[in-house]
Copies of this chain bind each other. A is one copy, B any other.
């Protein structure tokens, strides 16, 4: 029984070390009908990368035009390339009744929230201070200085948790995934979204 004809955009964010990437992967495995937002970038495709699958590959001019037209929900520049979240794909999914996940950095997530008021925003956190530090160190590829910087940035980003709708602890993965799926499902039962169902069935 389909309750709502529209899907929802679901922002999944959290500091470095919160487990965003692993969680989103597990989430898509647990519910394959979820769509994943595709970023746009001005960098060139690497071998094997496909346009519209890994990224939307666009020229810097096209990207600038999309920004000017308000077609980018958020964007940021890294290493001389621009990366961003195009509004169009998300809106297509939502109007097709599909839920679409946006895995995104903390600042970008807040930019998207400001532009898509009805997006569900979820902030992931590690279980505690120790696990955050362990995860950041666990990559084993960084100097102590870089790790200290990352930790400081993650603590700073934790302050943004209150700007998000929900906070989910990313400890045991199956619990984290079921928490997120419960949030998505419960949000669809909000009374304002159920008015159409009532009108159609009574």
A20 and B150 alpha carbons, distance in the complex (Å): 51
**Chain A 97-136 interface 0/1 with B at a Cβ cutoff of 8 Å (1 = within):** 0000000000000000000000000010101110010000
Tally of chain A residues near chain B (CB < 8 A) = 36
Interface residues of A (CB under 8 A from B): 1, 3, 123, 125, 127-129, 132, 155, 158, 161-169, 171, 179, 182-183, 185-187, 189-192, 194-195, 197-198, 201-202
- Main secondary structure, interface of A, reads helix
Nearest residue, chain B, Cβ from A154: B202
The minimal Cβ–Cβ distance linking A188 to chain B, given in whole angstroms, is: 10
A192 and B162 alpha carbons, distance in the complex (Å): 6
Copies assembled: 2
Given contacts A162-B192, A165-B190, 11 further A-B contacts (CB under 8 A): A1-B171, A123-B191, A128-B202, A129-B202, A164-B191, A166-B194, A167-B190, A167-B191, A167-B194, A179-B185, A182-B182
A185 and B183 alpha carbons, distance in the complex (Å): 8
Among candidates B129, B171, B186, B195, residue contacting A182 with C-beta atoms closer than 8 Å: B186
Given A158-B198, A171-B1, A202-B128, CB of A165 within 8 Å of CB of B182: no
A83 and B128 alpha carbons, distance in the complex (Å): 47
Nearest residue, chain B, Cβ from A182: B182
Q: What are the 5 A-B residue pairs with the smallest beta carbon separation, nearest first?
A: A167-B194, A128-B201, A186-B186, A182-B182, A166-B189
A171 and B1 alpha carbons, distance in the complex (Å): 10
Residues in B with CB closer than 8 Å to A185 are: 179, 182
